[in-house]
Chain A
Amino acid sequence: EAEVAQSPRYKITEKSQAVAFWCDPISGHATLYWYRQILGQGPELLVQFQDESVVDDSQLPKDRFSAERLKGVDSTLKIQPAELGDSAMYLCASSPGVSGSSDTQYFGPGTRLTVL
């Protein structure tokens, strides 16, 4: 069964350092999402891609976060510089259709970030 892949699974960094997370969606999925899940809360959308284009980054803290999906396949989320409040699980999800469809989103295992 195809799955969304994410790496690394765990990342510990010191504040002010740069971190990057990678996501490989299910093959053929056009839409890719990055969510952040703080411990004890539900995931919140950071950015959504349709192929290589950003369709929603309204909740992405753009002063320190960036995301790209250059060839419309895999994606990288970067934080620079990391802050203590960035400690969370970063989840990637993908869905087969175009943005606006009601397709099921399939989630990867997540990257747990701890900022010291």
Chain B
Amino acid sequence: QKEVEQDPGPLSVPEGAIVSLNCTYSNSAFQYFMWYRQYSRKGPELLMYTYSSGNKEDGRFTAQVDKSSKYISLFIRDSQPSDSATYLCAMSAYYAGGTSYGKLTFGQGTILTVHP
């Protein structure tokens, strides 16, 4: 079983739709949660970063973390064709004693297509 499972999709939605992307994880040591966006043939770019349970909003994007359920989500409101990309959830751990190498563990990615 992988440490991070991501709904693989693919997702195809009309412009203006609300998109929900989800990941679950099994490692309780994960404390930092990120969403990256990756356009075709490009490297991932950071969209959202959070380290606490609850919601974090940035423009049309909202990241949600539920540590008790080991579940994170990314919501995209008023989706645009330019949002078409692969979305990757990523997590890193904080171990007792304050030692963490900062290694990111990624989900397998969800391909999103927003059509006009």
Q: Enumerate chain A interface residues (CB-CB to B < 8 A).
A: 4, 31, 33, 35, 40-45, 48, 55-56, 91, 93, 95, 99-110, 112
Contacts and interface: CB of A to CB of B under 8 A. Distances in A.
A49 to B, nearest CB: 11
A100 B4 CA distance: 20
Contacts of B92: 102
A91 B101 contact: no
8 contacts: A41-B108, A48-B102, A91-B44, A93-B43, A99-B101, A100-B98, A102-B31, A107-B43
Contact of B103 (A42, A48, A107, A108): A48
B99 A110 contact: no
Contacts of B104: 33, 35, 43, 45, 105
Interface of B: 4, 6, 31-32, 34, 36, 41-46, 49, 51, 88, 90, 92, 94, 98-104, 106-109
B35 to A, nearest CB: 12
B44 A43 contact: yes
B100 to A, nearest CB: 5
Given A42-B108, A109-B43, A104 B49 contact: yes
Given A41-B108, A42-B108, A99 B42 contact: no
B109 A45 contact: no
Contacts of A95: 102
Contact of A101 (B31, B45, B102): B102
B106 A43 contact: yes
A64 to B, nearest CB: 21
A102 B51 contact: yes
A42 B43 contact: no
B103 A56 contact: yes
B37 to A, nearest CB: 11
Closest CB pairs A-B (n = 3):
A42-B106, A107-B43, A100-B100
